[in-house]
Amino acid sequence: MSLESIFKHIIDEADAKKDILIQQASGQAEAIIQSARQEAEALYQKLIDREKVLSIAQQQKLVINARLQAKKNLLKAKQELIDGVFQKLKPQLDKEKIKKKIVSLDSEQEAFEDVDFYLAGIRLDYESEIAQHLFI
């Protein structure tokens, strides 16, 4: 065998091994890329799922807050109507001058009742009744 044929044989074997190594490396690279894609897809899906849950929770929170605000506004409007009833009652009571008896051990006297104090006293008793008539 000549030196040239030995070099050619070595080069041919090296080329064959090189081709095998390149194919193996390409296969490994493709497997790594495929694995990375799958992992990225799984992470992406996990992120999307988490964001969906957060989005739904945020939507529910907004709806609950909106309903609560609506109820507060309705309650405030009802309270303003009830306040209006008592404010309209005040001038009438001022005209009629409600009297009260002041009883002590040795005497009995009559005095005019403070209208604001009187209204505050009866408000709790009559507020729900007024509300029933206003909001049937």
Q: What pLDDT score was predicted for residue 4? A: 84
- Rounded CA-CA distance 42/48 in Å is 10
Q: What pLDDT score was predicted for residue 126? A: 78
Q: In the block, which residue shows the tokens 């109507």? A: 81
Instruction: Write the Ramachandran bin of 97: left for phi over 0, alpha for psi from -120 to 50, otherwise beta.
Output: left
- For a pLDDT cut of 90, what percent of the chain falls above it? 41
Q: What pLDDT score was predicted for residue 46? A: 97
Q: 3-class DSSP state for residue 100?
A: strand
Length of the chain: 136
pTM above 0.85, yes or no: no
pLDDT mean over 119-126: 78
Q: What pLDDT score was predicted for residue 66? A: 97
Q: Number of helices (H) and strands (E), helices first, in the chain?
A: 2, 2
Distance of CA 58 to the CA centre of its chain: 5
Chain segment 57-108, per-residue pLDDT in tens: 999 999 999 999 999 999 899 889 888 887 887 777 767 677 667 777 787 8
For the chain, the structural domain boundaries read 3-134
Question: Which amino acid, 100?
Answer: K
Contact 101, 110 (CB under 8 A): yes
Chain segment 5-42, per-residue pLDDT in tens: 887 888 888 888 998 999 999 999 999 999 999 999 99
Which residues are within 8 A (CB) of 25 and not within 5 positions of it... i.e. 6 or more apart?
none
Q: What pLDDT score was predicted for residue 81? A: 85
